[in-house]
Copies of this chain bind each other. A is one copy, B any other.
Amino acid sequence: MAAAPVWSVDPRTGKQREQVAVEATAQEVDQAVRAARAAAGALADRTVRAAFLRSAAELLDASKDHLVEAADAETALGPVRLTGELARTSYQLRAFADIVDEGAFLGVVIDHPDDSATPPIPDLRRYKVPLGVVAVYSASNFPFAFSVPGGDTASALAAGCPVVVKAHPDHPATSELVASVLRRAAAQHGIPEGVLGLVHGFEAGVELVKHPLVSAAGFTGSVRGGRALFDAAAARPVPIPFHGELGSLNPVVITAEAVAERAEQIGAGLAGSMTLGTGQFCVKPGLVFAPVGADGDRLVKSLTDAVSDTEAGVLLDHRMRDNFVAGVAERAALPDVDAPVTPGAGSEHTVSPGFLTVPAQRLATDGGHDLLLEECFGPVTVVARYEDDAEVTAVLSRLPGNLSATVHLSAGEAAGQGRGAEILAELTPLAGRVLVNGWPTGVAVAPAQHHGGPYPATTSTSTSVGGTAVERWLRPVAYQNTPEALLPPELRDDNPLGLPRRYEGRQEL
């Protein structure tokens, strides 16, 4: 049987651009994993690792024009967005290099013997070691930042884990280009090219998560695809951690006071956030609570104006376009649902942004409207008009987990008068990131970031963005009564590497 070809497709026309590769066979997946495994030793030295990450950032920056052009041709995300995304990606690689240098992620803890403890404590020294080969499943909507050179790859390499990436079919040519850039960076530091494997094809992705030498996986994508891979990871003879970011509705609560204060500003802000990148963000606000009444009407009016002024856009592929058109039509057909601006098909290859409204009461119980509580990928949001706070509480209590939850408060509420704290307490159980008076699109790369949340937002309690993303690819090992001469330098009393650590119960910087 001939290997299935992998085509790069132009979503602006639906036409095949070029054949990039063929889908990987099980044998080729095995080869990629073994090559990655063989490269692990070359990542053991953290100085080399950090230098590799910085070289990768430099080479990506140097290839910017070429990479952005390639990615735009396959994704239609546009050069401005893609240039920004690439800058974010190289920033992220450098941020992880800094994390590697600092070494706090090693979690060094040293306890000396203590006979007064029950039972007595021997000499114990703990730090974290890399898990092994990591499988990374690229996202459709971020050809750089959540794909081959993205956060999963950067954090895994920072942890000392080689990576095999399963390319997303929406940008195979970009994936190949970027992989070759990363391999050039590796070669500059004597790291075998196998440290960054790349495979194409749905079946190859399934083979990858089942491979005995794969020790963990990172995924960004749909609930359906992510859950299938999660299930496969859990069903292995030796289960492995599967850190998947699957789906999120990203609820936004707008208080009556906030909308009274600045309905137009909030409506315009919402329009910008929900249509950004043609609505193809996992943190797109997909369910917005606005009060009934005149102030809420002003918000809807301003949202209507802004969304009406937003041009139709091209989605990442035609399957997504079909799903969007069908999904919004099905939602709009539900009883009591209105579409002040109808989302749906634009021209042959585009979709038009829009939004739906529904009485919040309709969502407070399972009355046939639960489809509105599922993510719809693309430029659409649902505005739930509420009569009182109890309705908001009732609907929130029915939501699955989210990456983000947002509240817009009045100046007084933000200053602590009124229900602000109460709403934050209601939103915290729902999400991994809680925002006040902002929009969830835009996820900063920062130590305090948390991009994750209760299932299905993520399949673990981890984050895929920010410094602590590195923790996903490590496991602790404790050494007991091990002579100084045999300890790794990270665990020696004299701290030759100058690592931050917890030493005899006290934190040392």
A residues with a Cβ closer than 8 A to B are: 84, 87-88, 91, 104, 107, 109-111, 114, 117-122, 124-126, 129, 131, 230-231, 234-235, 238-239, 241, 400-401, 414-416, 420-421, 424, 428, 431-438, 442, 444-450, 452, 454-456, 459-461, 463, 468, 474-483, 485-486, 500, 502, 505-507, 509
Which of B120, B238, B447, B482 is in CB contact (< 8 Å) with A434?
A: B482
Q: Is the CB of B450 within 8 A of A476?
A: yes
Q: Is the CB of B448 within 8 A of A481?
A: no
Task: Please name all residues of chain B whose beta carbon is closer than 8 Å to the beta carbon of A477 when the two chains form the complex.
Answer: 428, 431-434, 450
Which of B91, B428, B478 is in CB contact (< 8 Å) with A129?
A: B428
Work out how many copies of this chain go into the complex.
Answer: 2
Query: Whose C-beta in chain B lies nearest to the C-beta of A485?
Result: B416
How close is A340's CB to chain B, nearest CB, in angstroms? 29
Given the known inter-chain contacts A124-B449, A476-B432, A478-B449, please indicate yes or no for A444 contacting B117, CB distance below 8 A.
yes
Q: How far is the CA of A459 from the CA of B131 in the complex (A)?
A: 14
Task: Please name all residues of chain B whose beta carbon is closer than 8 Å to the beta carbon of A126 when the two chains form the complex.
Answer: 447-450
Q: How far is the CA of A241 from the CA of B238 in the complex (A)?
A: 16
Task: Please name all residues of chain B whose beta carbon is closer than 8 Å to the beta carbon of A436 when the two chains form the complex.
Answer: 479-483, 486
Query: Whose C-beta in chain B lies nearest to the C-beta of A484?
Result: B416
Q: Is the CB of A461 within 8 A of B444?
A: no
Q: How far is the CA of A431 from the CA of B431 in the complex (A)?
A: 35
Q: How far is the CA of A41 from the CA of B493 in the complex (A)?
A: 42
Q: Is the CB of B476 within 8 A of A416?
A: no
Task: Please name all residues of chain B whose beta carbon is closer than 8 Å to the beta carbon of A432 when the two chains form the complex.
Answer: 475-478
How close is A56's CB to chain B, nearest CB, in angstroms? 15
Q: Is the CB of A238 within 8 A of B482?
A: no
Q: Is the CB of B124 within 8 A of A448?
A: yes
Q: How far is the CA of A266 from the CA of B437 in the complex (A)?
A: 67
Query: Whose C-beta in chain B lies nearest to the C-beta of A460?
Result: B241
Q: How far is the CA of A15 from the CA of B449 in the complex (A)?
A: 58
Q: Is the CB of B463 within 8 A of A476?
A: yes
Given the known inter-chain contacts A416-B485, A436-B486, please indicate yes or no for A119 contacting B444, CB distance below 8 A.
yes
Q: How far is the CA of A424 from the CA of B477 in the complex (A)?
A: 12
Which of B401, B438, B509 is in CB contact (< 8 Å) with A122?
A: B438
Q: How far is the CA of A400 from the CA of B238 in the complex (A)?
A: 9
Query: Whose C-beta in chain B lies nearest to the C-beta of A473?
Result: B461
- Can you list 26 A-B pairs, Cβ within 8 angstroms, ordered by A? A88-B119, A91-B117, A104-B507, A111-B448, A114-B446, A121-B445, A124-B449, A230-B239, A238-B454, A239-B455, A239-B459, A414-B486, A415-B483, A424-B482, A433-B478, A434-B482, A435-B481, A436-B479, A436-B481, A437-B481, A438-B480, A450-B476, A450-B478, A461-B474, A461-B476, A507-B509
Query: Whose C-beta in chain B lies nearest to the C-beta of A451?
Result: B478
Q: How far is the CA of A218 from the CA of B420 in the complex (A)?
A: 36
Task: Please name all residues of chain B whose beta carbon is closer than 8 Å to the beta carbon of A117 when the two chains form the complex.
Answer: 91, 444-446
Query: Whose C-beta in chain B lies nearest to the C-beta of A94?
Result: B118
Q: How far is the CA of A119 from the CA of B84 in the complex (A)?
A: 8
Q: Is the CB of B415 within 8 A of A485?
A: yes
Most buried by B among A110, A460, A485: A485
Q: Is the CB of A486 within 8 A of B424?
A: yes
Q: How far is the CA of A476 from the CA of B452 in the complex (A)?
A: 9
Q: How far is the CA of A483 from the CA of B485 in the complex (A)?
A: 52
How close is A212's CB to chain B, nearest CB, in angstroms? 12
Task: Please name all residues of chain B whose beta carbon is closer than 8 Å to the beta carbon of A241 when the two chains form the complex.
Answer: 460-461
Q: How far is the CA of A504 from the CA of B408 in the complex (A)?
A: 26
Task: Please name all residues of chain B whose beta carbon is closer than 8 Å to the beta carbon of A87 when the two chains form the complex.
Answer: 118
